[in-house]
Every structure is written in C-alpha cells, then in structure tokens.
Amino acid sequence: MELLHATNRQPPMINLFKQQWWKYVAAIILLYVLIGGMLVPLGPGLRSIAPVNFTTDSTVDFVVTGYNTHFQDAGDLQVWFKPATGVDFYAADSIIPIINSTARVIFHVPTADLGGEPNKNFDLVLNDRLDGTLVMTFATVAKAGSHTDSTAARLKPVTPEIVNAHSKQFVFPFREILFQSIRNTFFHVPMWFTMMFLVIFSLVYSIRYLRTGDLADDVMASQAISAALLFGALGLSTGMMWATYTWGSPWPNDPKLHGAAVGVIIYLAYIVLRGSLTDEIQRARISAVYNIFAIVIFMLFIFIIPRLTASLHPGNGGNPAFSKYDLDSHLRLFFYPAVIGWTMLGFWILSVLVRIRLLQLKKSSQ
C-alpha cells in the first residue's frame, strides 16, 4: 500500500520532463554543434621544415610546409628564426613562396652565434597578411660545422614588423599534436560535463529520498546514474580515440584518466549494489547512502588526486587550463553550445528512463 502511494506521487521535475520544447532546443543546438564543428576549417599552421638538422657557416635551403596557409596568395611572407632559448629574431636570407602550402627559405648561421655550444635550437616564425603569425617551436637544430670561420659576420637581430598577427578567416586554431582532432573538444569535454551534471543531479535526489522516503525520488536518482554511466562510457571512448591520435596510446598513464575509470567503476558498483538488494524500500535507502559516499570519492578523484601528480590534461600538473588559451573565441562559439546541447540530451535520455521506470512501478503495484 505504501509502495502504491509512493509511486503515484509525481516527482517535481516530471512536468518539465514531459514537455517537448526543450527537446527541440537540444536537437537544434546539437545539430548546430555537429554541423558547424565539422565544417569550420582548421586555421593555418606549420607542418614541417626540412632539413631539421643543419651545419653552421653554410647556406641552407629549407623547405617549409604549411597547412591551410596562403604563402603565395598573401604575397608578403616574412620568415624569422628565433633561438628557442633567446628573445632575438633573425630574418631569413631570402624567401621564395612556391605554392600556398610550401615555401623555400634560405638561412645561414655563423658558428660564432652558437656561443660555444655544440648546437642550438631555433624556432621558426612566419607571418603573412592572410595567415597571421605562425610559430613552430624547436623547428631546427644548428650544429657546429667542421670548419669554422671566425671572421664571418654574426647574425643581426631584427624587430619583426607584423601587419596582422592573427588569421583573418573564421577557423579553428591549428595546434601541434591536436590538428583536426581539436573538434573532439565539442564531444569529449561536454560528455564528461554531462556525466558530472547527471551525477550531481542524482546526488540531490538521493539526499531528497533520504529526507522524504518518496520512491519517485529514488527513481530519479537511480536513472540519473544510468544516464551518467552512458555519458561516462561515451566520454571514455571519445577520450581514448583522442588520446590514440594525440598522446600515442589509448590509455596513457594519466591521473585524470584513472579518476574517470574509477568513477565509472564506482557507479557500476552502484548498479550491482541495487541489483543485489531485493526489497524496494531498502534498495532505495541503501543505494542512496552509497551514492552520497560515491560522489565524495568521485569528486576527490576528479579534482584533488590529479593535482597531486603530473597530468597530460589541460589544467593539471602545470598544463594550462583550456580556458586560458587552448579555447579561442571561434572554438567557444561551438564549445559552450556543445556543453548545453549534450547536457540537455543527457537529461532528455534521463527523462525517458525515468518515465519508463515510473510506468513499470505503477504497473507492478497495480
């Protein structure tokens, strides 16, 4: 009788869950993110320079390869070499754009400029009107040649004159290692956010259940964990794909990954715990207790443990947080909608799960 009474009561969110408008909004936002996030081209960047190693006191003919660059169209390509540990810029001797993505750059380094070191790293800095400033760090290494000419003139530092520092086009930033996979920012990151939101939502309803003893609250809490696990699995798989192409392995040794894995296991244990409790009321109460416990550990793993050791993820272990400069204004135009869209999709899935469960309970108590 108590069960019947409890399941006939409606959880407070159910009216919103039954409404349609926000589901259309979610679909439109996600379509915008999917289409826009895939169609916006990647900005200009430097792909390679050859040769990487060269000897001093000899004129070297470099071939610089760019990606989505406009070396020829811009017509004002400038190239500098900058010691990786220094602040001076040295202009290239001559620059010959061959096609938009390739340019020949002639440069030489006198042995005296190595300052007695056996070799010296140079960053490559390019600028043109259309592409803005492009940098490739540690691009080439100058090695002291066998014959040294101490009378040769040393390099003269120049002050770069830059017309336009940023690309004029509407593009996503070109980042070494990431390249086109930067679009995964609209999938991987919001999926974890969605999992976090669902887990916190579940926590709120678990606490509510302990206060009210209303089984509808337990339905909300438990189904939110199911939806969160789905998004956890999505976050893990997109992350593993991303890591394969950027960090070289699907499961690099990274504390944030460990936290995510433990989080998923903790919530799988929640499902197992619910499965092994047979009495409805007891299942609701015990799993609510475990849920409160689980989120504390989960938060510890996501926010505290990664800060104890080095991490590959942005924002940890000395890596910049992605809000600092990994996310430029063009990425933000899709990233924030992606967070909203995936979160709404998560709650959409949750609303379906909750409604199914409530109907099942209603049927079984009749």
Partner 1 sequence: MFRSALTIFRKDLLIEFRNRYALGGIVLYVLSSVLVIYFSLNYNDSIRDMSPVIWSIFFWLIILFSSINAIANGFFREPPGRSYYYYYIASPQAVIASKLIYNFVFTVFLILLAFIVFAVVVGDPVQNLPLFLTTALLGGTGYSFLFTLMGAIASRAGNNATLIAVLGFPIIIPILIFVTRLSASCMAATGADPDMMKNLLLLAAFNVMELLLAYILFPYIWRE
DSSP secondary structure string, 159-223?
----S-SS-SS--BPP-TTTGGGGGGGGTHHHHHHHHHHHHHHHHHHHHHHHHH--HHHHHHHHH
| C-alpha separations of 339 from 136, 173, 192, 246 in Å | 31, 19, 9, 22
CA distance 196 to 172: 27
The least CB distance from residue 228 to partner 1, in Å, is 15
Residue at 270: amino acid letter: Y
Contacts of 7 (CB under 8 A, 6+ apart): 215, 216, 358, 361, 362, 365
The least CB distance from residue 289 to partner 1, in Å, is 5
Contacts of 40 (CB under 8 A, 6+ apart): 170, 171, 172, 330, 334
The least CB distance from residue 81 to partner 1, in Å, is 40
| 279-297 residues labelled b (16+ CB within 10 A) or e (exposed) | ebeebbbebbebbeebbee
Residue at 198: amino acid letter: L
- Of 286 and 333, the one with the shorter C-beta distance to partner 1 is 286
Residues forming the site for partner 1 (CB under 8 A): 210, 262, 265-266, 269, 272-273, 276-278, 282, 285-286, 288-290, 292-294, 296-297, 300-301, 304-305, 308
- Of 135 and 261, the one with the shorter C-beta distance to partner 1 is 261
| 356-366 residues labelled b (16+ CB within 10 A) or e (exposed) | ebbeebeeebe
The least CB distance from residue 293 to partner 1, in Å, is 6
Q: What is the CA radius of gyration of the chain?
A: 28
The least CB distance from residue 216 to partner 1, in Å, is 18
The least CB distance from residue 270 to partner 1, in Å, is 9
- Of 49 and 281, the one with the shorter C-beta distance to partner 1 is 281
Do 144 and 55 touch, CB atoms closer than 8 A? yes
The least CB distance from residue 254 to partner 1, in Å, is 14
- Of 8 and 309, the one with the shorter C-beta distance to partner 1 is 309
Residue at 7: amino acid letter: T
CA distance 40 to 271: 41
The least CB distance from residue 300 to partner 1, in Å, is 5
Q: Report the SS3 class of residue 83.
A: strand
CA distance 293 to 52: 54
